[in-house]
Chain A
Amino acid sequence: MSDIARSTASDGVPSGRAKPHGTTLGSLAGKSAIFLILIALLAIFAVIQPVFLRAANLLDILEAVSVTALLGLGITVSLAVGGFDLSVGSTAAMGVMTAAYAQVVWGWGAVPTVLLVLGVGIGIGLFNSLLIIVLRVPDLLATLGTLFLVGGLQLIPSAGNSISTGMVFADGSEADGVFSPTFLALGRLRLWGLVPLPVIILGIVAVLLWVLMERLRWGRAIYAVGGNERAAHLAGAPTARLRVFAYVLSGLLSSLGGILLAARVGRGDIMTGGSLLQDSFAAALIGFAVLNLRRPNILGTVIGAVLVGVLLNGLTMLNAPYYTQDFIKGAVLVGSLALTYRLGRDRR
């Protein structure tokens, strides 16, 4: 039945794939602006510092942004459903400390550790859902609360210290576990001696999420909830379940980011949370400008993260001081948002 319907649909409407209108010069410029900037940056850095364009360096950039991008993808989905998740950075940091504690203190292996950390991420997502969907705390406030709660909780088991093999507890006992080599490989292995595993993981996650959000009906429903929750509900969408899904996914991806970080660093560093939240939000928001969509979108977030990575890597090569980094990220974010919304208005 559905086959027949499908064929009549495509036969009956020859102009069905009408090209989207508004392909004026302005909108074309808007759609490709971020790509043009990215190419221009690559060209400039390549001219000044030929090493920049080497495959190894480009892959280093991707590796450097993989965690930010993963968190950014979680934020993207929560933004798409009309929510806001400020707890991603804390969740990732929690993941780092949990992974370290499980292996160094409890002596766990790689597989149970990974499962535990992912479980913690899911738990944090469920906790956010409880606050936001059941108790109806506004999302911004709820996840800000979780940010502090989880950010504080991760410090307690190790009494505020970083976790590494040989650390001494208050009672004099010594932690004698080690990071499992399998676990460390998650952050350090390079396939074919070249491509870092985190980049592969990011690629797989990004492709799966892109298909979900842009090509599957659940993605449509998620965006519909974000656009007008009441309308989505009245159109039959399971709005509460979709919102829970978004927060759980965000928690899951954040804890995955934590795993990759812990595996790269090889210890439970209490400073890892640092700028993760800002960086991943910046990636998701720059993503609004990619393709000039003005909505959270998967491809945009990845490109946004890469753009920031390219810029920081290139400027570091040109000996720009480290303390200018935040300023540069801010300039990219503000610039791309201004560009998108300005061009969008011209299109009317």
Chain B
Amino acid sequence: MTVAAIRAQAVSKSFGSNLVLDSVSLSIAPGEVVALMGANGAGKSTLVKILAGVQPADSGVIEIGGQALRLASPAQAQAAGIVSVHQSVADAGVSALSVAENLVLDEICGARLPLFLSPRRIRRRAAEIAGKTGLSVDLSQPLAALSLAERQLVAIARAFAGRPKLLILDEPTASLSALEAERLFGLVERVKASGIAVLFISHKLADLRRIADRAIVLRHGRVQGEFTRPLDLAAATRAMIGRQVVSTVRAQNAHTSAPSLTLSGVQLREHGPGINLDLFPGEITVVTGPLGAGKSSLLEVLFGLRPPAAGRITLGSKPWTPRGPADAIAAGVFMAGEDRWRTSLAPHETLGADLAGTIALPHLKNWSHALGFLGFGRELAAAQTAIRRLGIVCRGPRDRLDHLSGGNQQKVVVARWQARPARLLLLDEPFQGVDLGARHDLIASLRAMDPSAAILIATSDVEEALEAADRILVLRDRGIAAEYRPGQEDFLGRLTNLETLVAGAAD
């Protein structure tokens, strides 16, 4: 038996009284790709942070090539041969430099190359790296000109150039299309062939089937199961989320009332497929699908941020042609955008950016007294209600949002749009960066909403879709590709299909 490239033994970590990793052990052989799977909050990212030296473990041993290590800092982990590539673009190189320069960046910064570099020499070295990894992008263009997916490929190629022992890829496919993901898998295969161990973090079943030699499923900080080829997808799914899904499915709604909103032949792009869809009061519809499938576009059309390319929308019995968010909000069509710090929240110094003010902002017209004087009483009362109803952990209605956890921040964002009766509530990726407990609370609050509101959620995460939805629509290429109802028979079997559909895999 060969020596494992990396071995972690009985690694535990807790934050306060919260045990996040409970004696987790794993080992990866050189040239092996191991998928680390699990729901949000299962402990994946904590394990990755420990391996990458970002956080210390409370107990346990980590060995590289049979030697026990102390990983006290990212630099130490890197020196020991552990390199991780994150999905976020911000970490993925210097935008203004060329692809070639980015590929040799570590060598430039690490003084492994001479002080005076000829561009020719950089190009030669970069071409060498690109050749080994099969990276097929124009090396002379600036990194900024590349797509997100290509930047990720560059980041992996760059990590590869450092000849690491273990390469950690953190959710590399999270925002990639099927085609882009395929290029990434090609690159990972080259890395694997050169004898580097790869830890591949994902919660997409399609990834696992495509690339993993072995899958380790984490749940609640424990290794819940280990699956080797041929992979039993249904069992892995059950290990990952099975029980939760079944427990949260709600009885199907009979569509007795008239639809709140009707789309007929709505095209999200010129000559795109027409979308026909009814949204019913009291029903939670989730649209899912890969990035670029049109989920956000659909929500933006309904919120008046852009007109549809074609088709008719009716709200109640009237045509719905909002000219902007102000129109939509006045008509009771609310939207919480994707990425709360970009679309909903303001820096804490801003007047009115505290908890109560954030909830009140879109409702000021309704809550103000004569002459536009602010209704502080209404504002505080609404905040108190939200804190109680959603269980927002905070110091009070005037607390700063940047001091709250991601889950609690998101509760404030959702509470904002529950503070007045809605006809249609649109939520774009509402569970991004939200821990499992907060996600349960959020979904419970949506279910407890006045049944006159229709709810439309966009998410690229199938597991989230399953937990929240009465009905799931899969969007692909800006058209509806499939419709599912949790609670249907043979659900877990269908789930696998759904994962495949959403990930867009061709098989």
Contact = CB atoms under 8 A, between A and B. Distances in A.
Mutual binders A and B:
yes
Interface stretch (B28-36, B231-239, B372-380): B372-380
Given A18-B396, A20-B398, A231-B344, A220 B378 contact: no
Contacts of A6: 369, 375, 377-378
B271 interface: no
A234 B343 CA distance: 7
A243 to B, nearest CB: 15
A235 B325 contact: yes
B345 A228 contact: yes
Contacts of B324: 233
Given A223-B351, A228-B345, A230-B343, A217 B374 contact: yes
Contact of B350 (A223, A230, A237): A223
Contact of A234 (B325, B369, B396): B325
A144 interface: no
A219 B376 CA distance: 14
A216 B372 contact: yes
Contacts of A80: 351
B412 to A, nearest CB: 12
Contacts of A224: 346, 350, 352-353, 361
B337 interface: yes
A257 interface: no
Given A223-B351, A294-B349, A16 B362 contact: no
Given A16-B397, A223-B353, A231-B346, 12 more contacts: A6-B369, A9-B375, A13-B384, A16-B377, A220-B351, A220-B364, A223-B350, A228-B347, A230-B342, A233-B325, A238-B326, A295-B349
Interface residues of B, number: 44
A221 interface: yes
A21 interface: yes
A202 B507 CA distance: 74
Interface centre among B325, B351, B381, B398 (most CB of A within 10 A): B351
Nearest to A8: B381
Given A235-B362, A238-B326, A217 B372 contact: yes
A9 B374 CA distance: 14
B329 interface: yes
Contact of A218 (B335, B345, B372): B372
A140 B372 CA distance: 31
Contacts of B360: 220
A15 B388 CA distance: 13
A321 interface: no
A9 B378 contact: yes
Contacts of B365: 217
Nearest to A344: B349
Majority SS at the chain A contact face:
helix
B55 interface: no
A324 interface: no
A159 interface: no
Interface string B380-397: 110010000000000111
Contacts of A238: 326
24 contacts: A5-B378, A6-B369, A9-B380, A10-B377, A13-B377, A18-B396, A20-B398, A21-B399, A217-B373, A217-B374, A219-B351, A220-B357, A221-B364, A223-B350, A228-B341, A228-B342, A228-B346, A231-B344, A234-B325, A234-B344, A235-B362, A236-B328, A293-B349, A297-B351
A217 B368 contact: yes
A16 B384 CA distance: 8
A297 B352 CA distance: 13
Given A219-B351, A220-B352, A293-B349, A236 B343 contact: no
A12 B361 CA distance: 21
A26 interface: no
Contacts of B381: 9-10, 12-13, 16
A345 interface: no
Contacts of A218: 372
Interface in A1-28: 2, 5-6, 9-10, 12-13, 15-18, 20-21
A112 interface: no
A10 B343 CA distance: 31
Contacts of B337: 231, 234
Nearest to B364: A217
B440 to A, nearest CB: 26
Interface in A221-278: 221, 223-224, 226-228, 230-238
A230 to B, nearest CB: 6
A215 interface: yes
B117 interface: no
B254 interface: no
Interface in A266-300: 293-295, 297
Interface in B296-350: 303, 324-326, 328-330, 335, 337, 341-347, 349-350
Contacts of B369: 2, 6
Given A216-B372, A217-B368, A228-B346, A236 B329 contact: yes
Which 8 A-B pairs rank lowest in CB-CB distance, beginning with the nearest? A227-B346, A227-B350, A217-B364, A9-B381, A223-B351, A235-B362, A228-B346, A236-B329
A174 interface: no
A236 B362 contact: yes
B506 interface: no
Contacts of A223: 346, 350-353
A31 to B, nearest CB: 14
A214 B373 CA distance: 9
B109 interface: no
A232 B399 CA distance: 20
B371 interface: yes
Interface centre among B344, B350, B372, B373 (most CB of A within 10 A): B350
A67 B360 CA distance: 36
Contacts of B361: 220-221, 224, 232, 235, 237
Contacts of B345: 228, 231
Nearest to B399: A21
A114 B482 CA distance: 69
Contacts of A214: 351
Given A21-B398, A217-B364, A238-B326, A295 B350 contact: yes
Interface in B252-282: none
A244 to B, nearest CB: 16
B389 to A, nearest CB: 13
Given A13-B384, A220-B364, A18 B372 contact: no
Nearest to B354: A20
A217 B379 CA distance: 12
A236 B342 contact: no
Interface in A183-241: 213-221, 223-224, 226-228, 230-238
A211 to B, nearest CB: 8
Contacts of A234: 303, 325, 335, 337, 343-344
Interface centre among A20, A21, A227, A294 (most CB of B within 10 A): A227
Contact of B353 (A2, A16, A227, A237): A227
B380 A215 contact: no
Contact of A220 (B330, B371, B374, B399): B374
B395 A21 contact: yes
A335 B360 CA distance: 36
A215 B357 CA distance: 13
Interface centre among A9, A10, A232, A238 (most CB of B within 10 A): A9
A220 B360 CA distance: 10
